[in-house]
Amino acid sequence: MKFKKAYAASGVALALALSVSACGSDSGSGASGDSVTVAVAGPMTGDNGIYGQDQLSGVQFAAKEINDAGGIPSGPLKGKKIKVVKFDDVADPNQGASVAQKICDDSGIMAVFGHSNSSVTLAAEPIYERCGVPLFVSYSSNPAITAELHKNLFRTLIDDAKMGAEMASYSHDQLGFKKVGVLASDDDYGDGLKTNFTKTADEIGLDVAKAVTTSAKQKDFTPQLTELKNAGADSLVLLNTYTDAALQIKQAYAMGWKVPIFVTPGSNSPELVKIAGDKAAEGVIVAAVFDPNSTAPGPSKFVKDFTAANGKGPGESAAMSYDSFYVFLKSLEEGADDRASVIKKTDEIGTFTLPIRGELIFNETHEPTVVPGKPAQVLLQVKDGQIGSYTG
């Protein structure tokens, strides 16, 4: 999800340079012998490593389900197994561009799932597009990614503009916040969420006491927390990912400032509680695009089966990439057998029934259509050291 400003310009510049030499004529069947190869590209190491690892586990689990059932169910590649390879972009747009070029040059890879960080996706996309590599995006949420149509790109996640607006509505309507203190990270993830949160707050009559931006790599947030406390905030909204949010929660608790705290889907991770500590995190409300506690048949079956196969429950980005895989699989079942036909078939199908989320309809720029009156996020809450269902 996160979009790092510091890397964006250099990453995009490298992407443009690489795209000049990117392949354009190879169909990239990705099918060899008895298998079809797909790639997962994301941060597998470093501070953002959990996002890439979770996306990888979601795709691997989906592939295992298909392989254990006898391979691709139908279509010209019926019976072939799915092979998953991974690429580490270390959350760096320059590395992401290099990874994209490697994937482009490898005609044995049919499609790619990634990247996690929006800045990396933006740097890599021009290369994939020139090569004609299908790109399934399940966890990069910056609006710029789908601001215009990229024929090869299909995003299954709503963007930051919609997330920020929904979080403001939740704060006002469900959570009953009166005077909100907003703390946002100094990157395009935080900026986009803050812009749309405060805009919607103004429209619906939610008082924002103050909105403050933190610095990159900052560890001590006491000055900003004190500033928001002095502004009279009765609640905190943290528009960042778990690495910052956890420290902010921990430091607010250490200050003795006990107010309701609301965090983004980027903080929907057990690491939030681990870093903040059970006591400090108790009661924190989490916006989520996946509810692991849902009793609906699709999500509950996924959580049960994933947990049995992996010895632990799925992270949010695992669930998102799992569903994205089934978008790709549907294209194969409908006749796709190489990169170009995957793109063509996915665009033609348009509407998908996915295991977890159910119906997904792509709009004209290949992002999910938002259904009026149906929020794309749910509320969760930390209780007894675990992120569980929100009960108010």
Report pLDDT digits (tens) over 205-218.
Answer: 999 999 999 998 89
Residue 142 and residue 206 in one domain: no
Residue 75 and residue 168 in one domain: no
Mean confidence (pLDDT) of the chain? 91
Confidence class for position 391, pLDDT limits 50, 70, 90:
confident
**Share above pLDDT 90 across residues of the chain, in percent, rounded to a whole number:** 81
Poorest-confidence range of 107-116, 282-291, 317-326, 367-376?
A: 367-376
SS3 assignment for 249-284: HHHHHHCCCCCCEEECHHHCCHHHHHHHCHHHHCCC
Q: Report the DSSP beta bridge partners of residue 42.
A: 88
Cα–Cα distances in Å, from 344 out to 2, 46, 201, 329? 29, 36, 40, 13
Residue 53 and residue 145 in one domain: yes
The answer to the question of residue 367 being in a domain is no
Residue 239 and residue 382 in one domain: yes
Collapse the DSSP code of 380 into the 3-class scheme (helix H, G, I; strand E, B; otherwise coil) and give the result: strand
The answer to the question of residue 228 being in a domain is yes
Integer-rounded Cα radius of gyration of the chain? 21
The answer to the question of residue 368 being in a domain is no
Single-letter code of the amino acid located at 96 = G
Helix (H) or strand (E) holding 224: helix 222-230
Confidence class for position 22, pLDDT limits 50, 70, 90:
very low
Q: Which pLDDT belongs to residue 272?
A: 95
**Sign of the C-alpha dihedral computed for residues 353, 357, 361 and 362 taken in this order:** negative
Instruction: Please give the tally of structural domains in the chain.
Output: 2
Report the pLDDT averaged over residues 42-67. 95
Task: Write b or e for each residue in 188-202: b if 16 or more Cβ atoms lie within 10 A of its Cβ, otherwise e.
Answer: bbbbbbbbbbbebbe
Report the pLDDT averaged over residues 351-366. 95
For residue 256, count other CB atoms closer than 10 A to its CB: 7
Single-letter code of the amino acid located at 91 = A
The answer to the question of residue 56 being in a domain is yes
Does residue 115 have a cis peptide bond before it, meaning omega lies within 30 degrees of 0?
Answer: yes
Report the pLDDT averaged over residues 35-52. 94
345 and 331 Cβ atoms separated by less than 8 Å = yes
Report the pLDDT averaged over residues 373-387. 91
Report the pLDDT averaged over residues 30-41. 89
* pLDDT single digits (tens) 108-133: 999 999 999 888 999 999 999 999 99
Q: Report the DSSP beta bridge partners of residue 213.
A: 184
The answer to the question of residue 307 being in a domain is yes
For residue 353, count other CB atoms closer than 10 A to its CB: 11
Question: 51: domain range?
Answer: 5-158+297-361
The answer to the question of residue 369 being in a domain is no
The alpha helices in 179-219, defined as continuous H runs, are 188-204
Residue 19 and residue 139 in one domain: yes
Residue 235 and residue 382 in one domain: yes
Residues 6+ away with beta carbon under 8 Å from 17: none
Residue 123 and residue 186 in one domain: no
For the whole model, what pTM was predicted?
0.88
Residue 28 and residue 41 in one domain: yes
* Distance between CA atoms of residues 30 and 83, nearest Å: 10
Report the pLDDT averaged over residues 380-384. 97
The CATH number given to whatever domain includes residue 13 is: 3.40.50.2300
Poorest-confidence range of 28-32, 113-117, 230-234, 272-276?
A: 28-32
* Distance between CA atoms of residues 298 and 167, nearest Å: 25
Q: Which pLDDT belongs to residue 20?
A: 44
End-to-end alpha-carbon separation of the chain, Å?
Answer: 27
Report the pLDDT averaged over residues 160-182. 96
Is the pLDDT confidence value at 10 over 70? no
* pLDDT single digits (tens) 216-270: 889 999 999 999 999 999 999 999 999 999 999 999 999 999 999 999 999 998 8
Residue 215 and residue 248 in one domain: yes
The answer to the question of residue 243 being in a domain is yes
Residue 210 and residue 281 in one domain: yes
Is the pLDDT confidence value at 288 over 50? yes
The answer to the question of residue 125 being in a domain is yes
Residue 21 and residue 123 in one domain: yes
Collapse the DSSP code of 324 into the 3-class scheme (helix H, G, I; strand E, B; otherwise coil) and give the result: helix
Q: Which residue has the higher pLDDT, 8 or 1?
A: 1
Residue 238 and residue 384 in one domain: yes
